[in-house]
Amino acid sequence: MGVLKRIGRIPRVQRALGGLFAAYLRLVRRTSRVVIEPADAFARLEPMRPVIGAMWHGQHLMVPFARRDEDRSVSLVSRSGDGELNAIALERLGIRAIRGSGDRGRGRLREKGGASALRAMLRALDGGETVVLTADVPKISRVAGSGIVTLARLSGRPIVPVAVVSSRRFVFDSWDRATLGLPFGRIAIVFGEPIAVAREADDDALEAARIAVEAALDAVHARAYALVGRDDPGRRPRAAAAAEARG
């Protein structure tokens, strides 16, 4: 492990970096022109709360913008070192972090806090907190896994797809092509229609819901990037993404 990585894992350094990142996100939000679609999205969501917010992994740095200060929210964050920084930043922004991960295999959770995280998310929803998490299976961008639809089935809460994109952004050379907004741009926040999963849903119904989440997330991202007049750096043909997931 390099010197910088070791320093970055010192708790007080992580707290400082997480705080700086939260302050940076506030700066981006204050200096950007924001459009929300539909314009009455928060009013529409109010009677449904708490909901399950679904995002693609490359959006995890921007999704804090898709909430109001008064909204009680939690987010699933990995247990990695980078996840620790994200968790600190989120908590500075008023979003509680639940630590854990999913699994590449459908219907399974790996031993990285997945099962305990699922229980924690169910408790959060039961307590009235909106839960936000990435829909992708780990390390395969823009292919939805079964975890989010399983959470919806067990909780009885609807899934709401969301995209948050900026006209001015930095694109990371990462597996998810993550984007981070820059100040003085245009930000588009687009919400999709809620997707319900019945408690008695069988395997076929869960697969149909998973595909619906995938399609809805692709649609809100396409619309958000159209609103800011930019291309989506993470977009790839659906057939190629599906083939990678199978492989």
Residue identified by tokens 């990037």 is 225
* Strand boundaries in 67-216, DSSP class E: 73-77, 95-99, 130-134, 136-137, 140-144, 159-166, 169-171, 179-181, 186-191
Domain that holds residue 37: 3-246
Structure tokens at 191: 């919400």
Total domains present in the chain: 1
Is this prediction's pTM over 0.75? yes
Residue 154 tokens read as 């067990």
What is the per-residue pLDDT for 91? Answer: 94
What letter does residue 158 receive in the DSSP assignment?
A: P
pLDDT value for 101: 67
Q: Residues of the chain whose pLDDT is less than 50?
A: 104-111
Q: How far apart are CA 18 and CA 117, in angstroms?
A: 22
What confidence tens digit (pLDDT) does each residue in 144-191 have? 999 999 999 999 999 999 999 999 999 999 888 999 999 999 999 999
How high is the pLDDT of residue 139?
Answer: 84
